[in-house]
Structure 1
Amino acid sequence: MINLKEILSTFTNEQQQDFLLYLDKKNKRKDAKDCLLVKLILSDNLSSSEISNILYRKQNKPALHALRKRLFQSLIDFTANMSMKEENSIDIKLIKYILSARNFLQKGQVKVGYQVLDKTIIIANEHQLFSILNEIYHTKIQFAHLNKSLNLHRLIIDFKENQQQLLLEDNLNITYAQIRKSLVDYQQNKSNLDIKQLIENVLEEHQITISDSLSFKSLYQIIQITSISSAQKFDYYNIEPFIINTYQVIKNHTSKEKQLYYHIEVLYLIANVLFRNKKFNISLQYLDLMQFYMNEKRQKYYSDFASKHDLLLALNLNYSKNQENAITLLQPYIDKKNIDTIAQLDIALSLIVFYYQHKSLDKAQKIFSQFYHTDKWYIEKAGIVWTIKKNLIEILLQIDLGNIDLVDSRLQSFKRNYFTNLSEINEERVITYLKLVEIYYRNPDIATSKEFKEKVERSFSWIDTKKEDVFMISFFAWLKAKMTKQDIYLITLNLINN
């Protein structure tokens, strides 16, 4: 059965109201129940039996099934109309032009047909819509025998050049799909594949290189898959020059204004890499630029990016000695509805860390109590790395809260569920870290001893602090705070600044 609640929950409040108005206008009968069904689905977690009783004052499964089926069809129609108005307005417009031109040409109106096609080519080129350009050139060639003034040789050259661009786009899309699929398998603990090596192999296989001949979408995809490879190994330092240089190609791109959504995505990815590399001031500059474009075209994409922007802004603020502002920014999101699940999980976990560093352990624990799903569910929704991070943070929090029984069970569960996986992906340092945490937990007094400090020094292969990921530093700061009996937040900031 189609989950109507899941579909409706992706709509903003405004879109939900628009959908109800759409249903109301569509209904010819005054006793239609589809609007009431929508309200029931959105307002409560009611069972089918309870909904049936409210709608029909009795159990009427056939009627409810038919009503749900009609509502689903209305959702499809409404969503399609919404997409045509917003996302694909240019595509739809050009397809209409092509169909009109073909009609003119079939009726022998050659001059007007080619005039429409010429106009369509100009717009399609501005937006780098290679598949639509392919249809235009195909139509021009099909009716070339009717146009005596047409330079067929030039037209065929343009057609073949566009085919090469279309093939390049398709190859990149295949590359993108292969890498994202591999990432999903990795995140769900089904693969230990080296994503970075996969990217190199697939790009080489399809002979893809960076140039301004690529569309804005393609350049975004290249930056994103590069960022993905870094996320796997927590290595953001080495990709920073690449993504900055790639953006130099993008920011002067001819279709920059026409592909606003992907431009905003790129700015977010760059700001995130800079944050992970602890370059907070520069990251904030890109976030300002991101917000500027979010406000373009009457804030067309503002709601799509607001939570991602605010989370990254809060993270930058937190690690730039502006923790109070960071907490204030994220607090309203905890109980906010109609927000992407992954974004809400990221925000909740970040706010837990902020409260923890702020010594507001009870507030951190209160948010943690809302994580009631199984690890399997979190792995499917947010990935294996997020789930490991959540479990590590919980262990540290429960140690400081003094919940001994809970710490023991969480330690055993973590070892059982993740040690093998961490070894397979060459992340033994997480295992090493947890073993040191457990040593401290079993005997807190040992933390300040020379023996323990030496053990910590021998346990890790230290790298240059400026190359280390900010989140990795945050975890080590907890251990360092125990060793020096200093404030965890100040230790974190000192390690980052040094």
Structure 2
Amino acid sequence: MDTLRETIHSLSAEERREFRVFINRQRVRKGRKDLALFEIMLKEEELKPRELVARFYPDANMNAYHTLRKRLSQHLQDFISLKVKDEDDTAYGHVSGLIAVSRYLLSKNRPSVAKKFLGKAETLAEQNEVFELLDSIYNLQIKHAHRLELSVDELIEKWSGSRKQRELEERINMAYGIIQEKLAEVKHGGLDEDLEAITRKALRQLKVEEEALSRPSIMYMLVAMTRSSLISTKAYDRFEPYVIDAFERLENEG
């Protein structure tokens, strides 16, 4: 499998048009080999490396061809990264943007302004439980605590609490991987177990059962993940009883 070709074919028709404009963003040139390689990989059946090399370098210069591939691959990475950022209207995207602005301001020796942006980022990340980015925020604040006029001890305490929550989130993600694998076994007849039992075993294995079953946000994340997994395995009949049980458990906890 050619990863570059697969990446190109993942683009929609509109994204392909946008990429052609993007690749010429700095200077429009005729006979761009990187763009020509893009078109060949997009429109034609998969060619062998030697056939592709011959299209661009009659002397079979493999090194030059690999350099060309790297250039096209980098353009694609830059394009996709920019597209993801532009389309990310989630709390994660907003917090990431605030952190980026804060880093920039610190590099320009504007700590007082950076402090305000980091404060906004921290509040938004806490409200939306974006623990991965909270970790980045606290690390940045600790690193520049003197310039930001913040207490290192208080920041370390916050960081420690956030890190525990992030580890819990990571364990939940691992549990989801186990649940998904077990559901696939159920689908293919290698396992006869209900969704509730599968979920509890996965949570118990990763030592997060108590936390997961008592926190609405964690339960919501698990239900959403499990729904996606059930859709992919087409085990729709298992979802309703699982959701009902999850919400009844939350009501009892409350």
TM > 0.5 between the two? Answer: yes
RMSD after superposition:
4.2
Query: How far is 1:198 from its partner?
Result: 3.4
Query: Residues 168 and 3 from structure 1, CA distance in 2 versus in 1: closer, same or farther, beyond 3 angstroms?
Result: closer
Distance 2:167 2:69 in 1: 42
- Contact kept? 1:219, 1:246, Cα under 8 Å: no
Identity across the alignment (%): 21
Mapping of 1:408-423 within 5 angstroms?
Answer: none
Mapping of 1:118-157 within 5 angstroms?
Answer: 118-141=119-142
Distance 2:187 2:241 in 1: 26
Query: How far is 1:167 from its partner?
Result: 2.4
Residue deviations 1:80-136 (CA, integer Å, cap 9, x gap): 2222222364243133144246547xx6x6644432321221232344321221232
Aligned to 1:206: 208
- The yes-or-no answer on 1:92 pairing with 2:93 is no
Q: Secondary structure at the match of 1:238?
A: helix
Structure 1 counterpart of 2:9, which letter?
S
Query: How far is 1:172 from its partner?
Result: 0.8
Query: How far is 1:168 from its partner?
Result: 2.1
Structure 2 counterpart of 1:220, which letter?
A
Q: Secondary structure at the match of 2:10?
A: coil
Aligned to 1:69: 70
Structure 1 counterpart of 2:79, which letter?
F
Residue deviations 1:37-87 (CA, integer Å, cap 9, x gap): 22222222153466556x349573625444333322322222222222223
Aligned to 1:115: 116
Mapping of 1:83-482 within 5 angstroms?
Answer: 83-87=84-88, 89-100=93-104, 102-103=106-107, 111-141=112-142, 158-183=158-183, 186=185, 192=191, 194=193, 196=195, 197-204=197-204, 205-207=207-209, 208-209=212-213, 211-214=215-218, 217=221, 220-224=224-228, 227=230, 234-242=237-245
Query: Residues 237 and 134 from structure 1, CA distance in 2 versus in 1: closer, same or farther, beyond 3 angstroms?
Result: closer
Distance 1:145 1:57 in 2: 57
Distance 2:238 2:217 in 1: 29
Distance 1:73 1:246 in 2: 49
- The yes-or-no answer on 1:80 pairing with 2:84 is no
Aligned to 2:25: 25
Structure 2 counterpart of 1:239, which letter?
Y
Distance 2:233 2:52 in 1: 48
- Contact kept? 2:135, 2:159, Cα under 8 Å: yes
Distance 1:206 1:134 in 2: 20
Structure 2 counterpart of 1:221, which letter?
M
Query: How far is 1:17 from its partner?
Result: 0.9
Distance 1:190 1:100 in 2: 55
Q: Secondary structure at the match of 1:135?
A: helix
Give unpaired runs (5+ residues) of structure 2. none
Q: Secondary structure at the match of 1:60?
A: coil
Distance 1:187 1:24 in 2: 50
Aligned to 1:459: none
- Contact kept? 2:4, 2:73, Cα under 8 Å: yes
Distance 1:36 1:230 in 2: 40
Distance 1:120 1:86 in 2: 19
Query: Residues 57 and 221 from structure 1, CA distance in 2 versus in 1: closer, same or farther, beyond 3 angstroms?
Result: closer
Q: Secondary structure at the match of 1:45?
A: coil
Query: How far is 1:174 from its partner?
Result: 1.6
Distance 2:112 2:57 in 1: 65
Query: Residues 195 and 3 from structure 1, CA distance in 2 versus in 1: closer, same or farther, beyond 3 angstroms?
Result: farther
Structure 2 counterpart of 1:93, which letter?
G
Query: How far is 1:16 from its partner?
Result: 0.8
Q: What TM-score does the superposition give when structure 1 sets the normalisation length?
A: 0.40
Distance 1:139 1:50 in 2: 50
Query: Residues 193 and 116 from structure 1, CA distance in 2 versus in 1: closer, same or farther, beyond 3 angstroms?
Result: same
Distance 1:61 1:144 in 2: 53
Query: How far is 1:188 from its partner?
Result: 9.5
Query: How far is 1:10 from its partner?
Result: 1.1
Query: Residues 215 and 97 from structure 1, CA distance in 2 versus in 1: closer, same or farther, beyond 3 angstroms?
Result: farther
Structure 2 counterpart of 1:121, which letter?
E
Aligned to 2:44: 44
Residue deviations 1:358-378 (CA, integer Å, cap 9, x gap): xxxxxxxxxxxxxxxxxxxxx
Query: Residues 138 and 164 from structure 1, CA distance in 2 versus in 1: closer, same or farther, beyond 3 angstroms?
Result: same
Q: Secondary structure at the match of 2:25?
A: helix
Distance 1:145 1:46 in 2: 57
Query: How far is 1:239 from its partner?
Result: 2.5
Structure 1 counterpart of 2:203, which letter?
L
Aligned to 1:447: none
Query: Residues 144 and 168 from structure 1, CA distance in 2 versus in 1: closer, same or farther, beyond 3 angstroms?
Result: same
- Contact kept? 2:138, 2:155, Cα under 8 Å: yes
- Contact kept? 1:183, 1:195, Cα under 8 Å: no
Query: Residues 239 and 20 from structure 1, CA distance in 2 versus in 1: closer, same or farther, beyond 3 angstroms?
Result: same
Query: Residues 91 and 218 from structure 1, CA distance in 2 versus in 1: closer, same or farther, beyond 3 angstroms?
Result: farther
Query: How far is 1:6 from its partner?
Result: 1.8
Distance 1:3 1:124 in 2: 34
Query: How far is 1:13 from its partner?
Result: 0.4
